[in-house]
Amino acid sequence: MSKQFKRLLNCMRSISERIDFKPSLALILGSGLGDYADGIKTEYILDYSEIEDFPVSTVPGHKGRFVFGYIGDIRVVIMQGRIHYYEGYPMADVVLPVRLMKMMGAETLFVTNAAGGVNTNYSCGDFMLISDHICLAPSPLIGENIGELGVRFPDMSNIYDKNLRGIVRNTAERLGIKLQEGVYIQLTGPNYESPAEIRMVRTMGADAVGMSTACEAIAANHCGMKVAGISCISNMACGITDQPLTHKEVQETADRVAPLFKRLVTESIMEIYNSSAKY
């Protein structure tokens, strides 16, 4: 048994001593979007600090807790605050929550983030359906393979599940919500990118840039979860405009579009549920 799997078992034991809930779907909320979880039918709330050997989020605006409850009839676990590589945690810690949610029972991961717009056709407040990603952070699969969860060399040809993308796209169209679609690129942060770096990632094919998500999606794919992802374009990336970048701007934009975001996420999850008997 791998060391990381033993650690996951310890975390699961710590959780099972406190709650009795098996989610079908996991949802990660990005910067400025955490209050979504406050509006669901809640069964349990568990702070990360209450879980044995679990990393704790240190980013402003991230509450750092799991919320267990229902979106409609769907049993969900929601992360209010993710773990970032730039906080100083090893990548195994960053993706530990994803692996743990899989072990809780979640078969699908719905991931969100606040991102900088690289595509000049985007505007602040747009939503982008993630079709693929480029990960310039270290792979979360480096090191000892957790064979109990997945194979050593997993395929990544359909990271953001094609069928789930179709459901989200159709849902946005039905609701009349503008939805871009493109490639997300993860850099390490915590500094925002330089104008030259943004020119580089645009050349590489990125449409939006951020400091999370890709590593989580890799870990989710490795352990057999289906993934859907939406970025909130909270600002235009450095060099696209002359305006300096701040975390305050990210949160203000996310707050402004929060009602539409909540509707899109809720309706998309409901459609995912309705389209698949496995939920």
- The rounded Cα 245 to chain-centroid distance in angstroms is 22
User: Which residue out of 122, 235, 236, 273 is catalytically annotated?
Assistant: 235
Strand partners, 232: 114, 127
To the query of whether residue 86 is one of the catalytic residues in this protein, the response is yes
User: Which residue out of 24, 26, 31, 234 is catalytically annotated?
Assistant: 31
Among residues 60, 65, 58, 72, which one has the least CA distance to residue 44?
Answer: 65
For residue 244, whether the previous peptide bond is cis, meaning omega lies within 30 degrees of 0, is no
Question: Position of tokens 């979007």?
Answer: 33
To the query of whether residue 160 is one of the catalytic residues in this protein, the response is no
User: For residues 279 and 25, is the Cβ–Cβ distance under 8 A?
Assistant: yes
User: Which residue out of 14, 131, 139, 247 is catalytically annotated?
Assistant: 247
Question: How far apart, in whole angstroms, are the C-alpha atoms of residue 51 and residue 109?
Answer: 21
To the query of whether residue 247 is one of the catalytic residues in this protein, the response is yes
To the query of whether residue 157 is one of the catalytic residues in this protein, the response is no
User: Which residue out of 91, 114, 220, 228 is catalytically annotated?
Assistant: 114
To the query of whether residue 84 is one of the catalytic residues in this protein, the response is yes
User: Which residue out of 2, 12, 44, 87 is catalytically annotated?
Assistant: 87
User: Which residue out of 48, 84, 206, 228 is catalytically annotated?
Assistant: 84
User: Which residue out of 211, 225, 236, 237 is catalytically annotated?
Assistant: 211
To the query of whether residue 119 is one of the catalytic residues in this protein, the response is no
Question: How far apart, in whole angstroms, are the C-alpha atoms of residue 110 and residue 12?
Answer: 21
User: For residues 132 and 205, is the Cβ–Cβ distance under 8 A?
Assistant: no
To the query of whether residue 2 is one of the catalytic residues in this protein, the response is no
Amino acid found at 246: T
User: Which residue out of 26, 48, 57, 62 is catalytically annotated?
Assistant: 62
CA distances from 83 to 10, 61, 91, 269 (A): 19, 12, 9, 23
- SS3 state of residue 110: strand
To the query of whether residue 31 is one of the catalytic residues in this protein, the response is yes
Question: How far apart, in whole angstroms, are the C-alpha atoms of residue 10 and residue 62?
Answer: 24
Secondary element (H or E) of residue 195:
helix 195-204
Which positions are annotated as active-site residues? 31, 62, 84, 86-87, 114, 211-212, 235, 247
